[in-house]
Structure 1
Amino acid sequence: MVARYGGEEFCLLLPGVSPSTAQQRIDQIRAAFASHSALSTAPEFRCSFSAGVCQWQNSLSDAGNFARADDLLYQAKNAGRNCVVGQSTSAA
């Protein structure tokens, strides 16, 4: 399920998918997205995105789970953008 979550943020729920597989899939989508030109009239113009990936924890509130993903997203942005950071990876 994909849903808009905030102005420029989206949430993707992948039930039954491990965190490492989710991170790999999101990174594949990120790479494919970045490889395409955004405008046919300006092929040098490229788009990218960063993502934070974490496993939903039933012991946390919805807000707590979204906060974890948001923290990981900002780690990706602070690492130089156009990358995916998961709960088991660190932004270098």
Structure 2
Amino acid sequence: MRLGRIASPDGVAFVSIEGQPGEETAREIAEHPFGTPTFTGRSWPLADVRLLAPILASKVGLHGQELCRAHQGDGRAGTGRPGDLPQAQHRDHRP
């Protein structure tokens, strides 16, 4: 089974990608893809959806929060708002 994560007109979902090349279908998985999947019954042609990184979004957010906590007080911490990187990340490193 090939697993993926997609953005469809109905939102973001984990899916099982099935079918022959050029005719693949994305079948929605209820909740998350860990363990035995439970399918919702909704599916889309793979050409009609956008493939996303196959990660849980909470993992990315937690990494950012930990980065801010680790650098609090040393002048490199951001504000914690999405898209606000520490100043060190914004420097131009060209020679």
TM-score after normalising by structure 1:
0.26
Q: Higher helix fraction: Structure 1 or Structure 2?
A: 1
TM-score, normalised to structure 2, is: 0.25
Highest RCO, 1 vs 2 (Cα 8 Å, sep ≥ 6) = 1
Pick the structure with more strand per residue.
Answer: 2
